[in-house]
Amino acid sequence: MTNTVHGKLWGVGLGPGDPELVTVKAARIIATADVIAFHSAKHGRSISRAIAAPYMREAQLEEHLVYPVTTETTNHPGGYQGAIDEFYEQAAERLATHLAAGRSVALLAAGDPLFYSSYMHMHRRLADRFEAEIIPGITSVSAASAALGTPLVEGEQVLTVLPGTLPTEELTRRLRDTDAAAIMKLGRTYPGVRRALSDSGRLDDAYYVERASSNRQRVLRAADVADADVPYFSITLVPGPQPTTPLRLANSTQTQRQTATEPAASVFPGSTAAESTAEGAVAATSFGTPGEVVVVGLGPGSADWTTPEVNQALAEATDLVGYTTYIDRVPVRPGQHRHASDNRVESERAAMALDLAKQGAKVVVVSSGDPGVFAMAAAVLEESADQQWAGVRVRVLPGMTAANAVASRVGAPLGHDYAMISLSDRLKPWEVVAQRLSAVAAADMAIAIYNPASSQRTWQVGAMRDLLLEHRKPDTPVVIGRDVGGPTESVRVICLAELDPDEVDMRTLLIIGASTTASMDTDHGPRVYTSRRYQR
């Protein structure tokens, strides 16, 4: 009996995209293998083959393994998983035919073959029958870290690699519990990833790297990335150490958005929401006369707090514009275009809304709470003063404020004169914030404190407390309301002297009582009110 010599299966890691980051061994195996195998979606463009092309030789056999489904729906009786499992079985048998005939097969894998790669599915089905060897490659995590130019972890710090496809609550939990993180599989998952970063307090420390090592590489703060700009081949990094050298960040307002006309070699089909933005612009131009911009407030959390007037405007809109977290609170409607962005690009967001309306769209700009209270109404109206949008009508529909919602949970701490002050010094210097706090405290009014803290802005709460104690008694009631109306709502009443900055984050609103504010315990929890009567 003649012994058949089988071919060898090579799992070839190609690195993150730059052909110069292919290892010497990988280049050698690509050049000498009998068969080059690679995956792609239905469009037929393979990133892996494009990376390997400089090392391939003419007339090599090629096995092009085309996924039957990526992000679209399927009529396979087993659903998406059934279709994929069947594809892997058939693809493995195609490669097995070559291996059984004595041909060596180099199966290409972007990044590393055993790191979120399709190669591992072939390995499970073939390695027990044929000799298999894996050539490791540089992962996208390493490439993104190099692009950012700062260490991911140091000393005893722990790095957690997370898929963006995890439920938002699970992502949030894991981000809270780790020193550093890399979040992969972005694209259409980015709104949930951004929300998890925000809810975990890590958004201000997170960075976004797109197409690391390629000539289309972009590096931005994660908070500055519009959802429509996120392709599958991107990654979010949350470094453990604080960066100590200048980061090589792009100017997010100057980078061009991915469109259908750009080369798509590094775009996973269906992985970006850019289509919705492009379609929205097309839809807008189909109107013959200018549309309008309606700035609405959804209320602070619960859908029950959104007014019927606002719900009607949302239903009639052709386009929604807003911060991702707020856009996600609005039900998806067929034919309606959603333009989500970061919460720190108010002017750009307002300009987009006005421009869409100028072209005929009926645009709703979505805010939380009331749009006129530290929200988008002022930004839109300020931007609309430019003559280029002179014909665009702007309306503002009110919503319940976060201050009123928090106050309602404990009674009436805002029952008399009160002030609203944002503790953020991003748009105004801290000296102005401190001056206003002192003036209101001296005037003996209750104060609703918005934007008290973030992951990178923590000292202001302590500074505020110390400043207010110069005018208020240590036992002055303070209401701490977090995520009121949301799934993780908590409301507590403490004394001003006990206010701990570590208990306050970006989802918290504080209400500081006046001298006429009283607190009492009842069978139904604490009750706080500010009397409308003054002692004379």
Query: Is there a shared CATH topology between the 141-238 domain and the 403-530 domain?
Result: yes
pLDDT digit string (tens) for 316-339?
999 999 988 888 899 988 888 888
Helices 459-468 and 430-442 pack at an angle, to 10 degrees, of 30
490: its two tokens: 């908590």
In sequence order, which ranges of 307-442 are alpha helices (DSSP H)?
A: 308-316, 324-327, 346-358, 376-384, 402-410, 430-442
Per-residue pLDDT tens for 22-64? 999 999 999 999 999 999 887 777 889 889 999 998 878 999 9
CATH among 3.40.50.10950, 2.60.40.10, 3.10.129.10, 3.30.950.10 for 141-238: 3.30.950.10
Report CA Rg, the chain: 28
More confident residue, 78 or 60: 60
Short-list 143, 86, 85, 87, CA closest to 111: 143
In the chain, where the domains are located: 9-138, 141-238, 274-400, 403-530
The answer to pTM > 0.75 is: no
Closest CA to 297 of 405, 425, 388: 405
Average model confidence (pLDDT) for the chain?
85
Mean pLDDT score, 401-416: 94
Token pair for 142:
């390493």
Is the domain covering 9-138 a CATH 3.30.2290.10 domain? no
Which tokens in the block code for residue 494? 């403490």
Please state, in angstroms and rounded to a whole number, the distance separating the CA atoms of residues 45 and 461: 53
Q: How far apart are CA 453 and CA 396, in angstroms?
A: 28
Q: What is the pLDDT of residues 245-303, one digit of tens each?
A: 677 676 433 333 333 223 222 222 222 232 333 333 333 333 345 789 999 999 998 88
Which option is the CATH number for 274-400: 3.40.1010.10, 1.10.3720.10, 3.40.462.40, 1.10.630.10? Answer: 3.40.1010.10
Residue 322: strand pairing partners: 340, 366
User: Which pLDDT score, from 0 to 100, does residue 4 have?
Assistant: 67
- The second-level CATH assignment, the architecture, of 403-530 is 2-Layer Sandwich (3.30)
Which segment of 140-144, 151-155, 166-170, 251-255 scores lowest on mean pLDDT?
251-255
- Going by the DSSP 8-state scheme, the letter that residue 292 receives in this structure is E
Kindly state the average pLDDT of the residues 357-372: 92
Determine contact, residues 241/159, Cβ cutoff 8 Å. Answer: no
The pLDDT tens digits for 410-429 are 999 999 999 999 998 777 88
